[in-house]
Structure 1
Amino acid sequence: MILCFDIGGTAIKIAHAYARDDIRPMGRVPTPANDYAGFVAALRSAIASAPMRPERAAFSIAGVVDPDSGLATVANIPCLTGRRLQADLEADLRLPVDLANDADCFALAEAAVGAGRGYDVVFGIILGTGVGGGVVVRGELINAGGGFAGEWGHGPIAQRVLGDPEVTLPAFACGCGQIGCLDAVCSARGMERLHQHLHGARADSTEIVAGWQAGEALASRTIAIWLELLSGPLAMVENMLGADIMAAGGGLANAHDLIAALDRAVRGKILRKFDRPLIVPAECAIEPGLVGAAILGLSRRVASAA
């Protein structure tokens, strides 16, 4: 059995994984975000309450592990930042530990049991609180040792002059420290920032999407610019990766017609011609962080036994 954890800033979600089709969510406990000893104690409690001694512990974390140094950066869980997290957890839990970024786990889940089933190259897209993603090739993360692959939301690439009639956007500051990132203007908060810049009016991203769906003029203008901002970079990602499918998750992806509009915009700009959608809503029915962690742990168990 693989003990799976989805580590968020407020809660640690737990699951027991026996096989890809047998992943059992076991509830959640609060995250001791500023107390590493308390964090380890919560994990040990989950181990102690498991029906058997786990073979491994697999983690989805809302952060990243540097592949060169092994150091973790987890913005919303300060007690984990700066640690050689895999080594520390293996020593503290006395179990083999597998770690992956939450976007990578989302992509693994979609590739294994979601919209990416049966495809060789799956790009998991996050469109919600942030813009991010993960890449799975033939069932394995492309960055198996950790790192930053799939983080298409960061980098100073956001187009600034666009639309009909044309509008010039500022280079919005991003939380990563750069300016002009897609994350800063195309996430849910970014969409709201874009709408306010275009129209001088505040609106929630759900209100903007609903207004676009209803044909409201200001919201339609915002979404047209948003689609133009995203579709060019996504087309470049597709031309580079050759993804067979892009599964979209996150809050904005709940608007399926918005994802369909993004799919049409991207397919109009790529070299490969599809007679089916390329960008589709995510399908994983269980918590994707837990499922992705389970897939990671199960695959590493097989590899270690080989």
Structure 2
Amino acid sequence: MIACFDIGGSAIKSAYARTADEIFTLSREVTPLQSFDHFVSVMKNAIDGLPERPERIAISITGVIDPETHRITCANIPCIDGRRLADDLSDKLGLPVLIANDADCFALAEAGLGAGRGHRIVLGAIFGTGIGGGLVVDGRLINADGGFAGEWGHGPAVALRAGDPPVDIPHFDCGCGQRGCVDSVGAARGMERLHKLLHGVSLTSAQITARWEEGDVDAARTIDVLVDLVSSPLALTINITGATIVPVGGGLSKVPALIEAIDLTVRTRTLRRFERPLVVPGELQIEPGLIGAALLGLGAGEAGR
């Protein structure tokens, strides 16, 4: 049995798993942000409530693990930022601990049980508050020991002209410290930034997408520019990785027309021509982080045996 956690800046969600078909969700608790002891106690309480002692703990978490130092960068949970989190939790809880980024766990879940079933190479893409990604090959995470593989949303890769007709788009500052990242124009906040740049009006991403689906001309222009900007970097990532399916998660994945528009444009820009949908909404809308953590832990057990 595996203890599973999906940890974000707002909540720690728990579950346990015996097989990929037996994943049982448990509690949802507020994430302690300042006290590591409180952070650990939330996890310990969940483990103590399990029907038996688990073999290991598997965690899907916001933030990135450095593959060389094994330290986590997680600014929105200060009490764990900079820690060798797997080691520290293992010492406190007395169990082996596996940790993967939440986008990686999304990709692992979709590869195993969702839209990526039957595909050797699955690129999971997150279109939410930010742009994220994870890469799974033959059922295994490329980032098994941490790292940034699949993070196609960062790096100065965005065009300076986009849309039909083309319009000049500046390279915006990104939260990662660079300029011109896909994240800065393709995520929910990026959509809002583009709309204000193009039309001088501040709207939320939900308002923009709703107006677009209602036929609003300004919103349609914003979506046209956004799709143009994100499709080339995503197509390049598909070329490099060889992915044959790209399940999409995050808040914007709940706008099927947007994902379809991105898919249609991406398929005109990949080296391999796909006659079927390539960029698709993820199938696991309920708890993909916990499912990914479960598959991470169960996969480690299979490898050990």
TM-score class normalised by the smaller sequence: over 0.9
C-alpha distance in structure 1 between counterparts of 2:18 and 2:258, whole Å: 36
Decide whether the 8 Å contact of 2:134 with 2:149 is kept in 1. Answer: yes
TM-score, reference length from structure 1: 0.98
Q: CA deviation at 1:285?
A: 4.2
What corresponds to 1:278 in structure 2?
278
Please give the alpha-carbon distance, in whole angstroms, between the structure 2 residues aligned to 1:60 and 1:143.
Answer: 12
Separation in 2 of the partners of 1:228 and 1:162? 6
1:142 and 2:142 matched: yes
Q: How far 1:164 moved relative to its partner?
A: 2.7
1:154 aligns with 2:154: yes
Alignment of 1:1-306 (within 5 A): 1-304=1-304, 306=305
Secondary structure of the residue that 1:261 maps to in structure 2? helix
SS at match of 1:263: helix
What is the one-letter code of the residue matched to 1:43?
M
Structure 1 distance, partners of 2:106, 2:165, is: 37
Which ranges of structure 1 fall in alignment gaps of 5 or more residues? none
1:127 Cα shift?
Answer: 0.2
Partner secondary structure for residue 269 of structure 2: coil
2:164–2:224: 8 Å Cα contact kept in structure 1? Answer: no
CA distance, structure 1, for counterparts of residue 47 and residue 231 of structure 2: 44
Deviations 1:181-200 (CA, angstroms, capped at 9, x unpaired)? 11111100110010000000
For residues 88-134 of structure 1, the C-alpha deviation after alignment (integer angstroms, 9 at most, x for no partner) is 11111110101000000000000011100111010101001100110
The alignment's TM-score, normalised by the length of structure 2, stands at: 0.98
The whole-number CA distance in structure 1 between the counterparts of 2:270 and 2:157 is 18
What amino acid sits opposite 1:138 in the alignment? D
**Residues 8-36 of structure 1: per-residue CA shift (max 9 Å, x gap):** 11110000111101101102111111110
Superposition RMSD in Å: 0.9
Aligned-residue sequence identity (percent) comes to: 55
Query: Which blocks of at least 5 consecutive residues in structure 2 are unaligned?
Result: none
Moved over 4 A (4+): none
Letter in 1 for 2:286: I
